[in-house]
Amino acid sequence: MTRRYDERVAVDDVSFEIPEGEVVGYLGPNGAGKSTTVKMLTGILTPTSGLVEVGGRVPWRDRSANARSVGVVFGQRSQLWWDLPLIESLRLVGALYDVPAAHFTGSLRRMCDLLGLDDFLDTPVRQLSLGQRMRGDLAAAMLYDPPILYLDEPTVGLDVLAKQAVREFIVDTNRAGRTTVVLTTHDLADVEALCRRIILIDKGRVLYDGGIDALVTAYAPPRRLVVHLADDETRTFDIAGGASVPELIGRVAAENTIRDLSIEEPDLESVIKQIYAESTR
């Protein structure tokens, strides 16, 4: 019996450049090629064609030097030692990356302050909550001060408070050391809180690369005026780009008794859904 194979291109002619200190959202649906891209950037995978450089290095040709210059957090898996207390995992990371003792102490103190690790440093990793483990993984990724941080779904499954702690850590890390951050996520609240630039990818190809504001301006549906009238009727009006909202409200009020009204602004999620729908068509 002869086996049959389907060959699929995971990443197809993707091209982008990220300056030092930028925080970029790398977005796409499941199977779009996000994690494959991150694995090539970290040197885990070797592309079949094309060129990748990270800090002047080709990741898969100089894996050791590249590994020392990047921190990586995969939300679905941990780099911590499951049966060891968190502090021992962090000490092992420090030893693996030859972090001097004084530098390790200072970095650990900074991570504890930023991520609130003190309460569970002595707890085995297997006993940590998901949010605690994620904070431990972030500490391990940044303990040796890499200039580049890759975050693959870092807030998946976290509660609101844990998500906020992760976002604040990313902001502080970026500001303090001009750390370049590449963030893949399905949580658009992460993107809106952290990123000025996003790269949209689908079926291995880049659909958009630019600022969030420009994306919303180019693709967003119109704003909507929702008016609740005294007779419990609700009327909806699309607001064109140059329309005067007070004038529109005045026209409606001249003919109706208004009980309440609101303006619905287009959000990033609806814009991205529209782009993916157009791409599928």
| Tokens read off for 156 | 């998946």
> Quick one: angle between helices 268-280 and 212-219, nearest 10?
60
The model's pLDDT over 54-78, given as tens digits with 9 standing for 90+, comes to 999 999 999 889 999 999 998 778 8
Mean of the per-residue pLDDT values of the chain: 88
- Output the pLDDT for position 242: 65
Judge whether residue 251 has pLDDT over 90: no
Cβ neighbours for 132, distance < 8 A, ≥ 6 positions apart: 120, 123
Architecture of domain 23-211: 3-Layer(aba) Sandwich (3.40)
**What average pLDDT does range 236-255 have in this prediction?**
81
- Output the pLDDT for position 98: 93
The model's pLDDT over 133-183, given as tens digits with 9 standing for 90+, comes to 999 999 999 999 999 999 988 888 888 888 888 899 999 989 887 899 999
- Output the pLDDT for position 143: 93
The model's pLDDT over 5-46, given as tens digits with 9 standing for 90+, comes to 777 788 888 999 999 999 999 998 888 888 899 999 999 999
- Domain ranges, ordered by start, for the chain: 23-211, 217-280
73 class by beta-carbon count within 10 Å (0-12 exposed, 13-18 middle, 19+ buried): buried
**The whole model's pTM is what?**
0.80
Query: What letter does residue 141 receive in the DSSP assignment?
Result: H
